[in-house]
Structure 1
Amino acid sequence: MYFSEQIRIRSKKNPKRILFDESLDERILLAAKILSEKKIAKVILLGDKAKILKKAKGFEIRLMESDFLQFLQKEESRLEDFSKKIKEIRKKKKLTLEGARKLLEDDMYYAAMLLREGFVDGIVSGACHATSRTVVPAFQLIGTKAFSKVSSYFIMEHEHEIYLFADCAVNISPTEEELAEIAVTTARSALQYGMEPKVAMLSFSTKGSAKHELVTKVQKAVEKAKKLAPDILIEGEMQLDAAIVPEVCKRKYPDSKIKGNANILIFPDLDSGNIGYKLVQRFGKAKAIGPILQGLNKPINDLSRGCFSEEIVDIAAITCIQAQEKG
């Protein structure tokens, strides 16, 4: 069974309310149709119902309102309430009531408040906007778990094998402490999918084969990650081939316990992570699901602007699973 099928089946067991704020995008509308008709998630489309239905009709997408497909428009009473609450949340930044109301003109801020106040269980956004437009309201209004760094990972499905790549969307140049936390958090996320985490922290060096401050940073991150989670198999620093090719691992890293079978790849920075997943996706014909955010108090997930409807369905299913974990 493909990974996509597995997560959709899990989502259907307890479908959650997933809100989309980019409700006029063709890919979102098609994903909403699939999600609602197959009862994978309870879809909520933010915006004017008549405009959304007109846009869907133009794309020849037939949407039927039901328990699994609802439309939600901004309400004046909620705007007033949310403005007051945002002012309080952001009081350290001396945000005025007018400034809070201005923020709510952005649908993502309104969506984040709906999530914060329990009107929805998760948000999927980013099909039409940069990652920052999804992540900043999430940081400001949803917040992070205690002692947690928000990061992201992609689920890469290649020839029925599943890998997690991190961080490919959020942290530009993580410190050694941040790299360690990204490694541990991603390993914990892998447990949600029944994976046994085997974490490789990547570099252009394997076990000191090169000397450079960037290599040293990864080496120190490995040490810190192991202290944070002694129960998880974490190794490095290592080159990619040593991480995933057993024959190469034997030569380059003979005492490795991963033995070239890593299923979680931690990239040293956003340059390598973002380029790496796209290379595997485009040249290797792997399926990329993500980016999936981790470390937030409630589930919000970002989409790649190059995503397709089926990928949006998968992200929504994962968002449901994250919401299920929260109860």
Structure 2
Amino acid sequence: MARSVYVTGVGRGDGRQVVELGLMELMSRQVDRVGVFRPLVHGTRAQDPVVQLMRRRYRLDEAMPEAHGMTYAEAADLQAESGLDELVTRLVERFREVARHHEAVLVLGTDFADTNIPDELALNARLANEFGAPVLPVVGGLGEDADTVVAEVRNAHRAYQDLGCHVVAMIANRVAGRSKQEVQRRAAAHLPVPIYVLPEEPALTAPTVAQVVEAVSGTVLLGDGAGLARDVQGYVFGGAMLPTFLDALTEGAIVITPGDRADLVIGSLAAHAAGTPAIAGIVLTLGETPPENVLRMASRLAPGTPVIRTSSGSWATAQRLSTLAGRLTADNARKADTAIGLFELHVDGAELRDRIALSRSERVTPMMFEHALLERARAARKHVVLPEGDEERVLRAAEVLLRRNVVDLTLLGREETIRKKVAELGLDLHLDREPATVPEGAALVDHDGAANAGQAAVRIVDPATSPLREQFAETYTALRAHKGMTLDRAREVVTDVSYFGTLMVRHGLVDGMVSGAVHTTAATIRPAFEVIKTEPGTSIVSSVFFMCLADRVLVYGDCAVNPDPDAEQLADIAISSAATAAQFGVEPRVAMLSYSTGASGAGADVDKVRRATELVRERRPDLKVEGPIQYDAAVDPEVAATKLPGSEVAGRATVLVFPDLNTGNNTYKAVQRSAGAVAVGPVLQGLRKPVNDLSRGALVEDIVNTVAITAIQAQGSDAAAE
């Protein structure tokens, strides 16, 4: 029987979609096949935004049974005609059909909104008991003081417990930030189960520009999909003259002005382009459209920023927007990232997972591996420098990393350029208004100037103007004096973002570096060779790819750095690859690959692999290693039983070391394309501190994964140092 958990509440407005999404994230890391089931739904499944979001984000199988039991209208009719028992029986049958196809099921309780269901709390309790699902009740705290929230939490716990439910924990959501600690302390003193308190997060209740368009029945004159996905953090009504109006602009605001005020349109977009402040968009009222030359200028000033026309006047538009609130939908991944980040920051995931008694699947899917990377990186948050601070993909990845609280970041580049790019993309990186640097030994601080122990933060450093430049030049001169480096020349070299970022790593100002989205591999790796150098006992820097197959993760090395390693270097690569595999939860069983298995072949290439295998066994007798061995004998138990019976590695290899770059690079790409594997990497290994290179074709999710890997490597470096 599938393990399940039932998320429910006690009334409207508790914002439990954040909890539902956070719990799905938690479950999907542990279990391959997670299902979602909503007993009662308004309209149809296609109209359920949370279920649609989960289906898209977690790739839930559309061929599985319906994700909901029946509509509220059907339930009310059935209960009136046949009674509550018949209603419950039907819902249990439909739940079990879903459960039969999944290892775990997340059940989304009723929403207490215009349901016509008598005693809705008792119905949720009964369904949870019939499903055999522990209950996670959510209590809303919006606008309530600490006394009220604590009382509501205690009452909700008692209500579900008295109805026979197994309550695994309680959650108070949307609590005022000033009351969070008090609610946590007082509620915990009176409850036999954990209590998690989530503060109100304005970014989740902020509507998007797309919602504004829908609310005002608007027509989009300018703008793109990314612009329509921006959060609206306020409204500014344009009526004053331009100088006065500019002072009223606020970050993330929608400007509402009559369509004939071309001066305010151009002024708003010019301010946005300068990033002072970055607005969400413009709504033009009264059905007026600016002249074509104004629209052309507007599109060049702030490409992608939405300009919307509505036939309504400013007052009617304001009325329509006054109650507009954000919502989690399948089309807004940014809000989903914010919601999951909020949940993970305030909920002890390991504790909750244990209380649900959700055991990890033996299979490790690509999504489970990627989710585990973010979880491990977040567990001991590190600080990573991104030299390509004005690159769009890097900035989009930075927003994801910050919303998920994975790492603290430093972006390198000109302050003005980065801010303008952030404004053009409509991103929310919470950049300080004043230029920020990271002086040596300084702790990262939040926007109020306090030490930041909670929300991840980002800073911008310009190598050309940073006070660190002189110190870094002196360091680099000393390191390269044997090559004739002078201080004047070093001052120029360290303004290169790759060198500056690498020196930040060396000086301990950041924990690692990720680059390569627009720079060559050589531009990323050469400074690391010169400044950070290899770790003791390792003669060579190499790389691995994590190859995420449908049911397991394999480690391939070296597929990106060394063209033709000799036997000693190949042994180093194998030992480093085994250590990397172990660091990321893959038990190392090392296969030293060749075109021959065992003693069946001869020749220089086979002899090199044979000698490398002997060196690995001499240096690391604790490692399970086999070689030379062919790929099929390494991964296929049936072939292994014929070619190398009794081997601890053959047929079960997890770390596959290729004899040269030509073989490794082609093999990983062939497996990636032909078998549909997800290739995460390359991950550099053998350096004293982590520096990782991106493919110049890297996607945003590739950058996110690589930064998470770099943070985990930094955690390992800290542990080794201790």
If the length of structure 2 is used for normalisation, what is the TM-score? 0.44
Q: 1:23 aligns with which of 386, 389, 398?
A: 389
Q: 1:45 aligns with which of 379, 398, 411?
A: 411
SS of match in other structure, 2:592: strand
Alpha-carbon offset, residue 91 of structure 1: 1.1
Look up the match of 2:206.
none
Aligned residue runs from structure 1 range 219-258, under 5 A: 219-258=610-649
Q: 1:302 aligns with which of 670, 681, 693?
A: 693
SS of match in other structure, 2:689: coil
- Is residue 156 of structure 1 aligned with residue 547 of structure 2? yes
Give me the whole-angstrom Cα distance separating, in 2, the residues matched to 1:152 and 1:316. 15
Look up the match of 1:68.
457
**Structure with higher RCO (Cα < 8 A, 6+ apart):** 1
With 49-58 and 188-197 compared, the bigger mean Cα shift is at 49-58
Alpha-carbon offset, residue 195 of structure 1: 2.2
Distance 1:283-1:26 versus aligned 2 partners, 3 A rule: farther
Give me the whole-angstrom Cα distance separating, in 2, the residues matched to 1:238 and 1:87. 47
Deviations 1:210-237 (A, max 9, x none): 3221011101111111111100100011
Give me the whole-angstrom Cα distance separating, in 1, the residues matched to 2:512 and 2:397. 15
If the length of structure 1 is used for normalisation, what is the TM-score? 0.96
Aligned residue runs from structure 1 range 250-269, under 5 A: 250-269=641-660
Look up the match of 2:494.
104
Deviations 1:118-138 (A, max 9, x none): 111110011112211111100
Deviations 1:56-80 (A, max 9, x none): 3333433322642221222353222
Q: 1:14 aligns with which of 370, 380, 383?
A: 380
Larger Cα-atom Rg: 2
Q: 1:270 aligns with which of 649, 661, 664?
A: 661
Amino acid in structure 1 at the alignment position of 2:667: G
Give me the whole-angstrom Cα distance separating, in 2, the residues matched to 1:69 and 1:80. 23
Amino acid in structure 2 at the alignment position of 1:72: V
Q: 1:57 aligns with which of 418, 423, 439?
A: 423
Alpha-carbon offset, residue 99 of structure 1: 2.3
Alpha-carbon offset, residue 315 of structure 1: 0.9
SS of match in other structure, 1:326: helix
Alpha-carbon offset, residue 294 of structure 1: 1.0
Alpha-carbon offset, residue 194 of structure 1: 2.4
8 Å CA contact 1:53–1:63 kept in 2: the answer is no
Aligned residue runs from structure 1 range 177-192, under 5 A: 177-192=568-583
Amino acid in structure 1 at the alignment position of 2:462: Q
Identical residues among aligned pairs (%) = 41
Give me the whole-angstrom Cα distance separating, in 1, the residues matched to 2:717 and 2:584. 15
8 Å CA contact 1:183–1:266 kept in 2: the answer is yes
SS of match in other structure, 2:554: strand
Look up the match of 2:591.
200
SS of match in other structure, 2:625: strand
Amino acid in structure 2 at the alignment position of 1:273: G
Distance 1:53-1:282 versus aligned 2 partners, 3 A rule: farther
8 Å CA contact 1:89–1:141 kept in 2: the answer is yes
Give me the whole-angstrom Cα distance separating, in 1, the residues matched to 2:653 and 2:686. 23
SS of match in other structure, 1:22: coil
Q: Which ranges of structure 1 fall in alignment gaps of 5 or more residues? A: none
- Is residue 143 of structure 1 aligned with residue 509 of structure 2? no
Give me the whole-angstrom Cα distance separating, in 2, the residues matched to 1:100 and 1:276. 41
Give me the whole-angstrom Cα distance separating, in 2, the residues matched to 1:62 and 1:194. 33
SS of match in other structure, 1:279: helix
Q: 1:165 aligns with which of 520, 532, 556?
A: 556
8 Å CA contact 1:151–1:167 kept in 2: the answer is yes
With 47-56 and 117-126 compared, the bigger mean Cα shift is at 47-56
Give me the whole-angstrom Cα distance separating, in 2, the residues matched to 1:20 and 1:129. 12
8 Å CA contact 2:543–2:561 kept in 1: the answer is yes
Amino acid in structure 2 at the alignment position of 1:109: Y
Amino acid in structure 1 at the alignment position of 2:594: S
8 Å CA contact 2:469–2:495 kept in 1: the answer is no
Structural RMSD (CA): 1.4
Amino acid in structure 2 at the alignment position of 1:308: L
Amino acid in structure 1 at the alignment position of 2:515: S
Q: Which ranges of structure 2 fall in alignment gaps of 5 or more residues? A: 1-28, 30-367, 432-445, 447-455
Give me the whole-angstrom Cα distance separating, in 2, the residues matched to 1:259 and 1:295. 26
Give me the whole-angstrom Cα distance separating, in 1, the residues matched to 2:595 and 2:551. 27
Alpha-carbon offset, residue 8 of structure 1: 0.6
8 Å CA contact 2:528–2:691 kept in 1: the answer is yes
